[in-house]
Structure 1
Amino acid sequence: MSTPTDTTPAAPVVPEGHVAMEIDGQSVFAPKGSMIIHAADKAGIPIPRFCYHEKLPIAANCRMCLVDAEMGGRPFPKPQPACATPVADGMKIFTRNEKALKAQRNVMEFLLVNHPLDCPICDQGGECELQDLSMGYGRSVSRFVERKRVVADEDMGPLVATEMTRCIQCTRCVRFTADVAGTYELGGMQRGENLQIGTYDGKPLTTELSGNVIDVCPVGALTNKVFRFKARPWELTARESLGWHDALGSNLFLHVRRGEVLRTVPRDNEAVNECWLSDRDRYSHQGLYADDRASKPMIRTGEGSDATAFREASWDEAIAKAAEILRAAHGDDLGVLVHPSTSNEEGALIARLADALGTGNVDHRIAQHDLADGAVAEAFAMPVADIEAADAIIVVGSNLRHEVPLLHQRLHKAAKRGAKIHVVNPVDFDFTFKAASKTIVAPSQLASAVAGFKIEGATRAVVIVGAVAELSSQASAIRKAVADFAGANNAAVCRIPQGANALGLSRAGVLPTARDAQAMLADARGAYVIYGIEPGLDFADQARALKALGAAKVVAFSHYACRSTRAVADVILPIGALPEIDATLTNLEGRTQRAVAGGKLPGEARPGWRVLRALGGVLGANGFDFTDLAGAKLAAREVKVAASAAQKTAGEGLELAVSQAIYRVDATVRRAAALQSHPLEAGPRIVLNPADAAAASLAEGAMAKVDNGLGTATLQVVIDARVAAGAAWVESGYGATAALGAGRVRVTGVN
């Protein structure tokens, strides 16, 4: 006779640190201290919300997420906000019962009391959270018959459009600027029915992340000023792409209509950019449609840089002319210079082409002065996301907030969590966190400042080296000092690659086996290939570069037929920019990411890999017989990079500290009209320490002649004690500062 068995299922084991609760009859586990809305989201149970955002501090001021709750069989006396009510063991939540739905519908009615009925002309229409939820929770007829309130708009700058009458005071934008961007530029003014959101002082937003307030706004109060009135969301096609103006490689979507990129929005990737996007990546697509965009192959027929010095040609004729130039300069007489945002596929083909032409003079490090140690881009020794958890961070030679805005935002988060951030710079640049210490010294003293630096008690230390250091005349000494410091303190070294794909190009072998970029310009070659470069603004030493290129035969693979390109090129081959081609880039932590073609190529422009394939075929080079992009992914070229001659910085005058202007980093950004109108676009100037300005008898606002021995510039003087004594700060990317490289300058008044 068998013994009966107990078939009652065993009670589930509650994970450590969790509580057991019930939501709409579904048993769930939730971490202690979390909120009801977190548990519901994890369980896939929808709760309406407006003010709640998973990346922002909890405000609980819209009340749209009200739910019914009970504990131990006893109901709570009134509905609870799910975003601000902690979970508890044994709690039962009802999100769809009569009490909860009545509360949610009443909140919706109040939200719509003053909201204008202008959905047909609102840019948020079709992707509006209020519009969506009002369909489920709103009444078909309003009981409110009084006059709706109207809020005057304020101008928040060239990027964000405002219609504040639509605002429902969710404060997402306020919390974003305060807690994520760290600039505290928006706030609530007045109280009750008079409450309104604004800047108070009426000035434009100055954060480099301002476009994110558009994404977090659940209504049409804050919209994209560049995109405004151009299209409806349902007319757009989304294409996966990448940010290509810094080495982070932010994930994004291009929103395209009939081949035109109309808008850029972030694509979630917690490991890279989370759900945010810098303004530089968001608005740069404007530059794709500049008047001087290269759209047809051109061959030189005369002298000078005017359009009349060129004639349009067929692709066959232009490729044949380019091949003729390259055959004539075969070998060491040829130099190949590549922009560091060039894709991996194009880079691999360029390296293969250089080998076929017998030249070792190929380099993408076009903006770097000091390559005495043969340095190339290296992947971060720590993942970007893990930097938030560091307990000590040393920033060396970087205006990080402008250089890689979303890496700076990671440091902002680290500082809020208690990390001590130390800064070693020639200028006391603006950061949104409070530095534990600041060492502000002239560029030549950065290496010794790092060597003498002490950190105590840190178990997770990080050293971040930026463009001010990497592009300086003392870069090799700084790199050595950083390596020695890291070795002695068990710190992770994170050198920011100087270009969106500098790391990928290094791995693809776009590096010299003979002369590096500086050497092949100092000792001019007979012919050059320049790829994706704006010659007048992208080189470390513009005067030397233009002199060398101007005296040589030049084949220019170019996005723009600008004046400086026309001044040096003999053949202009128009190629697609990253938003217009299929490609991969490798970001600063070594992550290779894919971009899909979004925008239509202008005119007769072609993807760069296709043009390289055609040129390689005409030249009879091996490895150019593929027919698609997959065939362009060739094996990396093995390169052992030789060290170059050390830079000499001795001499009289002030040491030049050069940082990249945030919206002048490359040709496309320079042509984005909205970014050029941004308050962070300060314009060409020279910033001096008060003592140095007094010694040169220069006053604020005066015009000064700046001479580095190779070129001169006339710049307006700004006096600021944030600049180290003995140094002069200028921003690169402007025509007015192009003649100045690194090293020392003499600064005198203009009579």
Structure 2
Amino acid sequence: MSAQPINPSVPPDHVTIEIDGKSLVVPKGSMIIQAADKAGISIPRFCYHEKLPIAANCRMCLVDVEKSPKPAPACATPVMEGMKVATRSEKALKFQRSVMEFLLINHPLDCPICDQGGECELQDVSLGYGRSVSRFNERKRVVADEDMGPLVATEMTRCIQCTRCVRFTADVAGTYELGGMYRGENLQIGTYDGKPLTTELSGNVVDVCPVGALTNKVFQFRARPWELTARESLGYHDAMGSNLFLHVRRGEVLRTVPRDNEAVNECWLSDRDRYSHQGLYSEDRAVKPLRKVNGEWKEVSWAEGLAAAAEILKANQGDNLGVLVHPSTSNEEGALLARLATGLGSANIDHRINNRDFSDAATAEVFGLPLAEIEGADRIVVLGSNIRHELPLLHARLRKAQTQNGAKIHVVNPVDFDFAFSVAGKQIVAPSKFADALANAELRSAVQGGTNTVLIVGGIAENHPQAAAIRAAARDFAAATGAKLCRIPQGANAIGLTRAGVLPAGKDVAAMLADPRKAYVVYGLEPGLDFADAPAARKALVGAQVVAFSQFACASTRDVADVILPIGALPEIDATLTNLDGREQSARAGGKLPGEAREGWRVLRALGGELAVAGFEFIDLAGLRASLAPVNVQVSASAQPVLAGEGMEVASTAAIYRTDAVVRRAPALQSHPLNNAPRIVLNADDAARLQLQEGQMAKVGTDAGKATLPVVVDARVAAGSVWIESGHGATAPLGAARVSVVAA
């Protein structure tokens, strides 16, 4: 028997096939539909989605395979050497048209009132494969709708049972909230228990739905797709920098949808990024320059507002001035703020408003392993993070690492948070014991066998009063185990602002508040809620002159400011942000600036001109960007806070839908089940020791600030700790490391 010839042009793990007469070399094990997609050959489909497991239940992708007596579903038929496939033959078209007719039997004829109209996959495919007249005379079935919460609207009579939404919640989100009920023609998709969707990624079921069964409830009946203009933008509520499109009509952002970027957010979007645009239209948006005259707020012209701001800054130059910047501020605005501080002789500028420990002069760092490669890790340690709320799409990648790569995930946290992945090991300890937990020999031996180990350090650790010691322990752990260190930047653009020089060579945030300056520039902040230590911030700002650049003229800004200059939010300006991978990404202006608000860089340029400081000679955004360059600041370190005193140790996390001013003003997100009311959570033993019961009100706080909050008893909380979510007015006074807890 002679040896078979080997084609040297075909790699050993590939096969040669033919689709519609076109010869292709494709990987072994791939499906016909995947090979066709790579070759640009169109095959109709509904249930198939490249990011979801194969279901093969819609049968729309039936094709004609040579020597096969039956039609083959292209999504579930593996390629084989020498296979010949016809997607447009008479037989294949007959299969596809017959399936199309079956799918339309029960589908309602309500395209004119369907929110999916104009971007509906069923409409598109039926145009090519459907009949112009139905042969079906029987009554169409009707399916009762479920209320899936404030974000997703349902019209389940339109459902074609493709199960994309089911597979998304099961395999990507990991919450298993949707499923098929009943059988045969009675099959319907639902939650079974009728409860709202609780996943932080629920809006993605709208994207994967090929019909109008699941639609965007916030966008419902607002506009038609052909009325909208798409603008490229970015998520700015966490450090991932998800790529997205803003859908705009006449200057109003009506909808946000994901923009594909495999290196960042793949094709998904968190609900926080998807629905936050509602907050742009809050009643307290800053729309005109405001000046406080004799204790009363007065609307003024831009000329008068800038003159008043310049007067304050001229009178308080040098060390008398502090500049406090929100960490989601763009690179362009950050660079100008750094130039402004330098021009006025001040080295007191900082964006690390959530941090408490500055003793190691730590700044945001690029992830040690790129985001897209984390799902390939085989050992992962999560330290001090409710990762599901802090970075929802990184949490999804960790789940992917486990389900597809078998990664073993270990967590060290003060609360046994709910994750959508199973945990190989966990240490639930007070935050002050994080460093000891990392030194644990059992944890180190558990990750030693890994070939690709990652240590992810989150906000609970980064913002703790002993963060310097925790960061040192994390570096030691990484060096001892070979783990890639990934410290989550505390802010959407913390890395960009670090590179832009928005860092103190003089006093840091804590020092500026502990030893108040005579004047402050406050940029993009909501003073009452955005600082780690809100009582200290208010005390310092109330006693000083304050120029506030703000998107909102909220009560806490009016309380401390002397001048409010209205600026645009990210969806309303051209800007660049730098994400946790160090990837600089651009956003285009989508929404119209409200009232007389202006882009922040324009206002800063005008103020810089008024003050005659260097670095403001450019005339447009292109000129500004041409002048940008990384700035190396020798960051000053301050004394480490002392974690001493009586009381419970605070484990503070940012409430998922209270992270910044825009999110806090989005009504749909505030109605979401994940958005808990202000509370304190402690375990049963501590509650019994303090004589507290579930639902009882407790007085919590220190001499600096106190709050009265309801008690929740939960065994998941570490002994000696009390879990508090920040971002609420009620919890804002609790900025201390330890608090006393007594019955109210």
- TM-score normalized with structure 2 length: 0.98
Match of 1:385, SS? helix
1:716 aligns with 2:710: yes
Aligned to 2:216: 224
Deviation at 1:12, TM superposition (A): 7.4
Aligned to 1:80: 72
1:569 aligns with 2:548: no
Q: Which amino acid aligns with 2:408?
A: K
Match of 2:337, SS? helix
Instruction: Output aligned runs, 1:91-110, within 5 Å.
Output: 91-110=83-102
Aligned to 2:125: 133
Q: Which amino acid aligns with 1:108?
A: M
Give the Cα separation in 2 of the matches to 1:443 and 1:382. 25
Deviation at 1:651, TM superposition (A): 1.1
Aligned to 1:321: 308
Instruction: Output aligned runs, 1:434-473, within 5 Å.
Output: 434-452=422-440, 453-454=443-444, 455-473=447-465
Aligned to 1:34: 30
Question: In structure 1, which of residues 728, 733, 740 is the aligned counterpart of residue 734 of structure 2?
Answer: 740
Give the Cα separation in 2 of the matches to 1:179 and 1:145. 39
Aligned to 2:286: 294
Deviation at 1:302, TM superposition (A): 3.4
Match of 1:736, SS? coil
Match of 1:566, SS? helix
Aligned to 2:3: none
Tell me if structure 2 keeps the 8 A contact 1:708–1:743.
no
Match of 2:529, SS? coil
String of CA shifts for 1:662-719, please: whole Å, max 9, x gaps: 0000000000000000000011000011000001111000000002231001110000
1:493 aligns with 2:449: no
Give the Cα separation in 1 of the matches to 2:615 and 2:9. 61
Give the Cα separation in 2 of the matches to 1:427 and 1:638. 37
Deviation at 1:643, TM superposition (A): 1.2
Question: In structure 2, which of residues 186, 193, 201 is the aligned counterpart of residue 194 of structure 1?
Answer: 186
Tell me if structure 2 keeps the 8 A contact 1:534–1:667.
yes
Match of 2:95, SS? helix
Deviation at 1:741, TM superposition (A): 1.2
Aligned to 1:404: 391
1:173 aligns with 2:161: no
Tell me if structure 1 keeps the 8 A contact 2:448–2:481.
no
Q: Which amino acid aligns with 2:475?
A: A
The percent identity for this pair of structures is 73
1:420 aligns with 2:436: no
Give the Cα separation in 1 of the matches to 2:328 and 2:261. 21
Match of 1:564, SS? helix
Question: In structure 2, which of residues 522, 529, 534 is the aligned counterpart of residue 537 of structure 1?
Answer: 529
1:19 aligns with 2:19: no
Deviation at 1:29, TM superposition (A): 1.1
Deviation at 1:467, TM superposition (A): 0.5
Deviation at 1:631, TM superposition (A): 2.0
Q: Which amino acid aligns with 1:440?
A: I
Match of 2:530, SS? coil
Give the Cα separation in 2 of the matches to 1:709 and 1:636. 42
Deviation at 1:642, TM superposition (A): 1.4
1:235 aligns with 2:227: yes
Aligned to 1:698: 692
Aligned to 1:4: none
Over the aligned positions, Cα root-mean-square deviation in angstroms equals: 0.9
Tell me if structure 2 keeps the 8 A contact 1:657–1:742.
no
Tell me if structure 2 keeps the 8 A contact 1:472–1:742.
no
Question: In structure 1, which of residues 370, 393, 396 is the aligned counterpart of residue 357 of structure 2?
Answer: 370
Tell me if structure 2 keeps the 8 A contact 1:396–1:463.
yes
String of CA shifts for 1:144-192, please: whole Å, max 9, x gaps: 0111000000000000000000000000000000000000000000000
Worse-superposed segment, 569-578 or 741-750: 741-750
1:278 aligns with 2:265: no
1:479 aligns with 2:467: no
Q: Which amino acid aligns with 1:288?
A: L
Give the Cα separation in 2 of the matches to 1:216 and 1:742. 44
Match of 2:528, SS? coil
Give the Cα separation in 1 of the matches to 2:538 and 2:407. 45
Give the Cα separation in 1 of the matches to 2:629 and 2:102. 63
Q: Which amino acid aligns with 2:56?
A: A
Aligned to 2:725: 731
Deviation at 1:635, TM superposition (A): 2.8
Deviation at 1:508, TM superposition (A): 0.5
Give the Cα separation in 1 of the matches to 2:8 and 2:255. 48
Give the Cα separation in 1 of the matches to 2:593 and 2:43. 44
Tell me if structure 2 keeps the 8 A contact 1:352–1:637.
no
Deviation at 1:15, TM superposition (A): 2.0
Question: In structure 2, which of residues 230, 241, 258 is the aligned counterpart of residue 249 of structure 1?
Answer: 241
Give the Cα separation in 2 of the matches to 1:622 and 1:232. 48
String of CA shifts for 1:314-347, please: whole Å, max 9, x gaps: 1011000000000111110110000000000000
Where has structure 1 moved over 3 Å in runs of 4 or more?
none
String of CA shifts for 1:505-535, please: whole Å, max 9, x gaps: 0010000011000100110110000000000
Instruction: Output aligned runs, 1:323-338, within 5 Å.
Output: 323-338=310-325
1:215 aligns with 2:172: no
